[in-house]
Chains A and B, each alone.
Chain A
Amino acid sequence: MRRLPVYLLVDVSGSMHGEPIESVKNGLQLLVAALRKDPQALETAYLSVITFGSSAQQIVPLTELSAFNMPEISAGGCTVLGEALQLVCKCRENEVTKTTAEQKGDWRPMVFILTDGVPTDDPQPGIDKFRSMKWGASVSCAAGPGADKALLDKITPECVVELASADQSTLSAFFKWVTASIVSTSKSINESGTSTGSMDQLPPPPPEVQIV
């Protein structure tokens, strides 16, 4: 079966400590719980979580929704966004099935990047590699005023969204929107057999989530 891989890249640097990271965990939990109620997402969507603080780690490999368990996430350290981009490309190469004559591969992965700060490593090699691949919908989210929106625009020129702050209700709205985006994408690939990965296939974001 053709899977819809979804990679969530989450900033776990020191500045995310406290309410932001708790809100992310909570948002992730809501996301999984909501997707499990949608038959198409439950069948199609596979989730992976990559965190980046002092190092980038795939804390949840690409996992079927029904088998997904909340990982332990704690915040601290710097922001190696560049490393995280390298890692998501590598994970994709290892985990996502390519189409061959005998087998239909997976759908193009969706990527959501959430960060509240400026990368502490050189992000350019990661950006170059990330941009060399074709993704389904790819969205980066500037959580709060500290994020470098211009840089995020280089990573996902298709879509950068902004949150006024990284508090509970705002992040919750963001995760709801991510959930709706995954639901609508899994619906569209089921119904029309296509996923253009363009922004107009994603539902309009709530007021808390501003498109930059």
Chain B
Amino acid sequence: MDTENVSIQHPAVLTDENSVKDVINVGRQPEEDFGNENHGETDTAEVTETKDNSSDSQNTATAEGAEQLPEDAKASSATEDTKNVPAERKPEVQVPPVEIKGGVYSDKTDVVSYPDKPERLPNITLGREPRSASFKLSKGIVLKLKSAEEREGCWKYEQVNENGEDKICFTPFKAGEYEIPVEYNDGKKLLFHLTVNPDPWSLWTVEEIDEKLKVFSSDQERIDGNHKDVIAKEYPGLKVVGASHRGRSHERSGTFRDDDMGVWADEENGNYVFIVSDGAGSCRFSREGARIAISFIKEKLESNKARIEEAWAKSKITENRDCPIGMTLTQLARLAKDKLSAYVAENKEAHPDWKVKDFSGTLLVAALKREKDRTLQLVTLSIGDGAIAWYLGGGKHGLMCCPDSGEFGGGTRFLTTPEVWKAMSESKTNEDMTRAYKEFCNRRVFCKRFSPEEAKSFQLFLMSDGVSDPWFETDARLENGDEWRRFAEETLYGDGDNKAKLKPCDSVDVMAEKLFAWLEFKIAGNHDDRTIIVVYSAEDAKNDVQSGKKEA
């Protein structure tokens, strides 16, 4: 395999000295296997029915308990004796107090005469509906509150009449566990237990990066740049905006953003390449792996401008996935993988514990050619999750990447995953190698041509799974034109919560900043790094996706 890069027969062979040297250097690097398992709940194992013993839930009693006063509470409220605890309770067991944000009410002297077992009100979560918990009262009964909590601003209460029912209604303002003693006007006493959860969004803190985590010189730049990255470029007939945002989970743990992105342009020939890499969250140096892979590919493109142009010239693409430009992208990805192996090998002495796997990341590459007649040609390559897609408006779209999940029945693949390059590594002859490249292209490369008319409303998206997962969730939805219409027209251009509020008349700088701000969207369960590149036509004036307005 050490020589294939100089001998493989296709028009776009990159043969500058570095690439050859890199390949030779890393040819003997042991490649590790990734233990990828199926992580989700996909188990479909046949299981036989067992005897029905699932006594449904005594738990519902707690919810129902809030609705009416159970007998035992009435009974025990009559007695003043708190030592009268049920037999299974062992008071000698010291229960350490549960530490609660917002404070615990424990005015024990006041609680002496209250029932041992409090009435449970339904839990409340701050920032979510319902905002208050209520308890049904017997008609005409008035309550006197004994607690001082209200004054401290932890909650307020009011007695309301809803649909002819008298209710006491608690609205909390602070998280905590509250025991609220109340007294009826006839002297009976009640104790309410109210659990108030903090607003989940308030728990996301931003922590400083630990000095020990700074390993690469680029790490200081990441910190200096406040973990933010934006792209705002204008080229003849094209505008490019991109944004990369550190995920909340990384902010909270004080770790780096692992996503990276890049743009390369050869304006003279109308050749452009857009790259997104999502460093594997489980791999400690994936941020650097992503950075190295992208900057390496950009360097290679820059030093091979003429060859790229030649490859485009020979790529008469309609459906030809193994066209020369597809082969070139494949080769670039493979060289980038080798570059990472070489990098680890170079640092072997100083860092014997570094492994190629530590630098794992996905790779999304889109090469775009704008012909003189304004035709657009698009060739993409993808390894791993995330998405590349074009969009022409009205739900007319095309997914330009192979769905990753389930590709091998499980976890995602990375640039450094040996399995991805297996056929090439095992190739003995030039024919084998060429076949391996073609097979790779037929799996991972996509091609599409857009007429000058279509090119006017052309949009291209590259996104890491931090963006595609929350907005598309499944591969099926990624294939759905309605979903793309919603994303491209409503999510990016719409106004409101979690919308990017882009406007066609925005400058690329404004757009990039808006995209970056939008990447903070709040969708529960999605806190990964988020990266998106949007390429859109600037032919004529920019087509207004929503109203067809034209830019001045």
A residues bordering B, Cβ < 8 Å? 1-2, 17-19, 21-23, 26, 29-30, 33, 36-40, 42-44, 55-61, 63, 65-69, 71-72, 74-75, 83, 86-87, 89-91, 93, 96-99, 101-109, 129, 132-134, 168, 172, 187-197
Given known A29-B98, A98-B44, A134-B45, contact A90–B123 (CB-CB < 8 A): no
Nearest-CB distance from B61 to chain A (Å)? 8
Residue ID in chain B nearest A194 by CB atoms: B39
Of B56, B88, B99, the contact of A33 (CB 8 Å cutoff): B99
Given known A29-B98, A193-B412, contact A19–B59 (CB-CB < 8 A): no
Which residues on A sit within 8 Å (CB–CB) of B475?
101
Closest 6 CB pairs of A and B: A192-B281, A39-B203, A191-B281, A1-B525, A105-B41, A192-B282
Is A104 in contact with B473, judged by CB distance below 8 angstroms? yes
Which residues on B sit within 8 Å (CB–CB) of A86?
50-51, 53
In the assembled complex, the Cα of A59 lies from the Cα of B58 at a distance in Å of: 5
Q: Is the interface of B mostly helix, strand, loop or mixed?
A: loop
B residues bordering A, Cβ < 8 Å? 35, 37, 39-45, 47-48, 50-51, 53-59, 62, 88-90, 93-96, 98-101, 120, 122-123, 125, 177, 195, 197-198, 200-201, 203-204, 247-250, 252-253, 280-282, 385, 411-412, 465, 469, 473-477, 524-525, 527-528
Which residues on B sit within 8 Å (CB–CB) of A195?
39
Residue ID in chain A nearest B175 by CB atoms: A36
In the assembled complex, the Cα of A83 lies from the Cα of B472 at a distance in Å of: 40
Is A43 in contact with B200, judged by CB distance below 8 angstroms? yes
Of A65, A71, A104, A188, the contact of B282 (CB 8 Å cutoff): A188
Which residues on B sit within 8 Å (CB–CB) of A191?
247, 249-250, 281-282, 527-528
Is B249 in contact with A106, judged by CB distance below 8 angstroms? no
Is A107 in contact with B474, judged by CB distance below 8 angstroms? no
Is A196 in contact with B37, judged by CB distance below 8 angstroms? yes
In the assembled complex, the Cα of A119 lies from the Cα of B66 at a distance in Å of: 37
In the assembled complex, the Cα of A30 lies from the Cα of B247 at a distance in Å of: 29
Is A56 in contact with B53, judged by CB distance below 8 angstroms? yes
Nearest-CB distance from B55 to chain A (Å)? 4
Is B281 in contact with A37, judged by CB distance below 8 angstroms? no
Which residues on B sit within 8 Å (CB–CB) of A68?
123
Given known A43-B200, A168-B93, contact A193–B47 (CB-CB < 8 A): no
Would you mind naming 18 contact pairs between A and B with Cβ atoms under 8 Å apart?
Answer: A39-B200, A55-B53, A58-B55, A66-B197, A67-B122, A67-B123, A69-B62, A69-B123, A89-B50, A98-B41, A102-B474, A102-B476, A105-B40, A108-B41, A129-B47, A191-B249, A192-B281, A196-B37
Which residues on B sit within 8 Å (CB–CB) of A67?
122-123
Which residues on A sit within 8 Å (CB–CB) of B54?
57-58, 87, 90-91
